[in-house]
């Protein structure tokens, strides 16, 4: 979970300053896109390589707040890159678990599951969509087809 915290630190820190100033949980006009990376590749039939998908997402994410979550990695880790943040969930967890258990709770308030930041999860995975909606009914779901 510490890896996810690092990836989201800049987004949440900025929002927390705004929240203290406004005395309430703000909803940013600019959404945070949380992308199920392997699901996006899967929608292409895995024709797109990791490299090609990352290159396409770099272009698409320009000017957006984006967190990519992927199933892979020897250990749970994250990287904050100029284009987006990347969370590797490690060998024992899937991206779905990182998204639902780590990333989304950091983007919601502790009470009433209101979003601190407008959040759009990009996935075509129906069980993940349902799990996200259980975290907060305000989470939006986006189609990975639009990214391809």
Q: What digits encode the pLDDT tens for the residues 55-96?
A: 999 999 988 989 999 988 888 888 888 888 899 998 888 999
Q: State residue 75's pLDDT score.
A: 85
| pLDDT exceeds 50 at position 23 | no
**What SS3 state is found at 42?**
helix
Tokens of 132: 């996200």
pTM score above 0.75: yes
Q: Where are the beta strands (DSSP E) in 8-143?
A: 32-36, 65-70, 77-80, 85-88, 119-122, 140-142
Average pLDDT over residues 38-45: 90
Backbone angles phi, psi at 9, to 5 degrees: -55, -50
Whole-angstrom CA distances from 32 to 8, 18, 137 are 10, 16, 16
| pLDDT exceeds 90 at position 37 | yes
Q: How far apart are CA 132 and CA 93, in angstroms?
A: 16
């Amino acid at each position: 979970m510490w890896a996810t915290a690092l990836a989201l630190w800049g987004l949440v820190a900025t929002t927390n300053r705004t929240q203290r100033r406004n005395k309430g949980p703000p909803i940013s006009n600019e959404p945070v896109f949380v992308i199920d990376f392997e699901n996006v590749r899967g929608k292409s039939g895995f024709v797109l390589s990791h490299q090609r998908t990352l290159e396409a997402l770099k272009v698409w994410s320009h000017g957006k707040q984006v967190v990519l979550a992927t199933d892979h990695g020897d250990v749970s880790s994250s990287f904050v890159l100029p284009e987006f943040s990347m969370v590797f969930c490690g060998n024992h967890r899937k991206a779905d678990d990182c998204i639902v258990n780590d990333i989304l709770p950091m983007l919601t308030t502790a009470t009433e599951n209101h979003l601190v930041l407008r959040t759009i999860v990009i996935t075509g995975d129906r069980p993940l969509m349902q799990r996200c909606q259980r975290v907060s009914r305000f989470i939006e779901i986006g189609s990975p087809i639009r990214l391809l």
